[in-house]
Structure 1
Amino acid sequence: MNLIILNNKATVVKSFNNNILLVREKGKEKILFQKGIGFGKKLGDIIEKGTLVEKIFIIEDKENQRNFNEILTRVDTKLIGIVEEVIAEITDELGETLNENIHIGLVDHLFYAIKRLEENEEIQNPFIVEIQTLYNREFEMASKLADKIREELKVDIPEGEKGFIALHIHSARNNGKLSNTIKYSFLSNSIIEHVEDRLNIEIDRKSLDYARFLTHIRFAIERIITDAPIKNDLIYVIKKKYRLSYEIAEETKKIICRALEISNISEDEIAYLAMHIERFRSSIIK
């Protein structure tokens, strides 16, 4: 592990727990992560220049700074400390820099979620199966955070809520684009519901066939969004051999175009969708 050296002395603003400190260094607020660094620290204490830490998070955006300071006034210090420790672990595990919004959005989301859970309100997540399937790694990380919350705060986080946490993590890996993540999950679900209606079947959301089909749909959506066309030399064969599946793929095209506000999708992509619909249909209807 490569440790980071503080280039200047820093003043403690808040100690969240033994491992997480909020400090001010040369007018900038920074979150420091290092085992034991927060032990016994209080407002105004000095962290000396040359101190070694594992992680430094800086919230650069002015609005994010204001929002983070507002969160400090109403959210339990212990919860912030738990979340910041897990963010540090996630950045280590992924080897990625996460969007700074996660320091505000995830804490704020969990604050209200825990409040609702303590008031026995049920939390519904219509995208839970899609999230578990498409963002499995993020869901595993969300489960680790849920375990820490259960251990430290004695609050059980349900599966649906873990899904929302996973979306925050996925969003932070993708430059803060959470709304699009939800939008595309909803689109994937709409496509599958249409296929169910057309084939007059009900798909087992826990099955391997469903997971495989959902992944193919997601990749297709990603290609369309990023304008990364795919070549399909079997268009004629697919149209002739899999007439029903191609017809459903054409209908699916309209759903995608409407949702993404685009005018058209290439015939190559429609043929691939038809092929995946056919494979799925064959595996379900035997």
Structure 2
Amino acid sequence: MDTLKRFNVTSRGDGQPTYVFGHGFGCDQSMWRLVAPRYAERARVVCYDLAGNGQSDLAAYDLTRHGRLEGHADDLIEILHAIGGGPVVFVGHSVSAMIGLLAGVRAPELFESQIWLGPSPCYVNDGDYVGGFTRSDIDSLLDTLDSNYLGWSSTMAPVIMGAPDQPHLATELTNSFCRTDPDIAKHFARVTFLSDNRADVAQLQVPTLVLQCSDDLIAPRSVGEFLARSLPRGTLRVINNVGHCPHLSAPCESMAAMDEFLASHAESRVCA
């Protein structure tokens, strides 16, 4: 199976730059439905499903290759070559932000800039670094996921989504989690929540927007501030929103922040 089919790569729109959208844990590219089409009105937009997620080829999920985020970063690099190379604007939500980071360090020539929504290079508190969770918190979360994945999904999805005034979004995320192969989800959860990419952040040389919500239990403000300090060309923007998925719960606010960042780097505005 070729690369485009293996990762369910879709493309729409035409023009420069090319925007590539990567989704978060337990999701698929449909989570970008409120954002990606707006950018496709004036530029080329490419979406894909992470290995083991959505309509990707589940048989291509390799426990060794994808046992570290670097394996997913290599997938992204492969996808970028398959669509004609770069440089592209990469837009990554949550874990995909760190996948973009690693790909940007490994193949800087493929990236013009990056935009991260709710990123976290490390979820575990460590000394002066506040990731939002203790190691025992993460261990408990993963143990619950291992023993009762469907129960974990229904409990965690509302926490991750936030957006208390839009309960249908929590239901949508729950359903997305429940559609994910449980064995793959359990494996990918450990890869995601136990990753530590703090040392890689300073190596990314392209302009990068860190877009955070004002109230996000998964990626607190302290994480965004760490990233803004550590990125050589980083910009932190906090929008007034509750939850971890602003592209769904606050799409216009998210696009406004993205457009401001892109305009500052000589890109066209696409969200009026």
TM range (shorter): under 0.3
Q: Which has the higher contact order (CA 8 A, sep 6+)?
A: 2
